[in-house]
Structure 1
Amino acid sequence: MSDIVFYGKPGCGGNARQKALLQAAGHAVEPRDLLAWPWTAAALLEFLAPLPVPQWFNRAAPRVKSGEVVPEALDAAQALALLLAEPLLVRRPLMQCGAQRLVGFDPAEVDALWGLQPRHAAWPRERAEGCAAAAADVQAARCRSARE
């Protein structure tokens, strides 16, 4: 299988689930702290440039959810400056396997590129992004406070 560099947020339940899916498929996962990584504009753009600017952003970030940051209102230069200054706004995870890079965790896309087996009943068929605790109010509040 593959070695996958996984830039995520430490303590994020969603990222933990995503790493577990990759490991269950036999991939070696090298976790890196997305928030503490010394990003440069060029390095971040290697992940983000193929996507439209609004897809660069973590929709669960407090400043995006509150409407303070409106990704659709930003051009690429504004967005990049904001993401470099505040990595919590970056859509996660960022993943790299060799020269291939992905933003976010779409199980079908991960499966097509690198393989995501086994495919059992628990295998997610939709995007596996977002807070794993969002369904439970108490857990969602805990998750929100951890993002801040």
Structure 2
Amino acid sequence: MSHLVFFEKPGCGGNARQRAALQAAGHTLERRNLLTAHWTTEALLEFLAPLPVPEWFNRAAPRIKSGEVVPEALDAEAALALLIAEPLLIRRPLMLNAENGSRHVGFDTAAVTAWIGLEPSAQRPRSLEGCSSPTTSCTTPTGGQHAHV
């Protein structure tokens, strides 16, 4: 099993379900607050670079849901500046395998299973990404794919 650095939004129900699935599979987690981490362009790119720019964004973020921010209209430089300025826009969780340095963005269960393994569950949805409810935005302060580096 793996030891992961798990960047989350504290209080997010989606992140809580993701942590539970990882821990049920025997993984250990070092939890970090995604919103207060001191992100640099280089640090974010270590997670995000393998993905297309629109996949860098948290689709449940209020500014994206309202249409104020349109990830498909941004180039990488503009997207990174926006994500650093407003970490709530970063797709989560960001996960780092502390043992081999590989990184993963988001929580598609098939992709996470292929990356580090999850316990099989007939009740687990295909994706544990996002909030507990499709109608909530996980905006209270208390809410992919992987890259081998």
TM-score scaled by length of structure 1: 0.89
Root mean square deviation, CA, Å: 1.6
Query: What is the letter of the counterpart of residue 56 of structure 2?
Result: W
Q: Deviations over 1:37-87 (max 9, x none)?
A: 011110000000000000000011000011110101100000000000000
Opposite residue 93 of structure 2, the aligned amino acid is P
Number of aligned residue pairs: give it. Answer: 140
What amino acid is aligned across from residue 80 of structure 1 in structure 2? L
Q: Which has the higher helix share?
A: 1
Deviation at 1:96, TM superposition (A): 0.8
Task: Name the counterpart of 2:110.
Answer: 108
Q: Counterpart of 1:99?
A: 101
> Which moves more between the two structures, 107-116 or 75-84?
107-116
Quote the residue 1:14 is aligned against.
Answer: 14
Task: List alignment gaps of at least 5 residues for structure 2.
Answer: 144-149
CA drift at 1:133: 2.6
Which segments of structure 1 move beyond 6 Å, counting only runs of 4 or more?
none
Q: Which has the higher contact order (CA 8 A, sep 6+)?
A: 2
Give the match's secondary structure for 1:121. Answer: coil
What TM-score comes out, normalization by structure 2 length? 0.89
Q: Percent identity?
A: 64
Question: Would you say 1:146 and 2:140 are equivalent positions?
Answer: yes
Unaligned runs of 5+ in 1: none
